[in-house]
Amino acid sequence: MTAATPRLVRDVAWRRTTVSRSELMNTTQSLVRSGHGILAADESTPTISKRFAAVGVPSSVETRRAYRDMLFGAVGIEESLSGVILFDETIRQSTS
């Protein structure tokens, strides 16, 4: 969030967090820094299953984990990404 962010949005975000205002501002600035993007990897199980089926890959917990391991473990990914949006299943998984 920047000074251009509507005051109501800034105030609501501030009230709903337990981190300090400066930590929140630092995090948001880091997420929107130049040359970096946010990866939306929040595909639901039915959505990723359809994508896998289209290329003949069975959808299981293990194949989805292997796919995410490959995606998030890509060499140099941290040079382009500032954050990742995750699906519930992904947050609860660990790497293989």
pLDDT in tens, the chain (96 residues): 455 545 555 555 556 656 778 888 888 888 888 888 888 888 889 999 999 999 999 999 899 989 988 988 889 988 888 888 887 776 676 666
Model pLDDT, residue 23: 83
- 93 and 50 share one domain: yes
- 50 and 81 share one domain: yes
Residue 38's DSSP bridge partners are 83
- 84 and 40 share one domain: yes
Model pLDDT, residue 54: 97
With b meaning 16 or more CB within 10 Å and e meaning fewer, what string describes 1-12?
Answer: beeeeeeeebee
- 53 and 89 share one domain: yes
Model pLDDT, residue 86: 81
Model pLDDT, residue 12: 55
- 27 and 42 share one domain: no
Nearest to 21 by CA among 9, 11, 32, 30: 11
- 85 and 63 share one domain: yes
- 47 and 25 share one domain: no
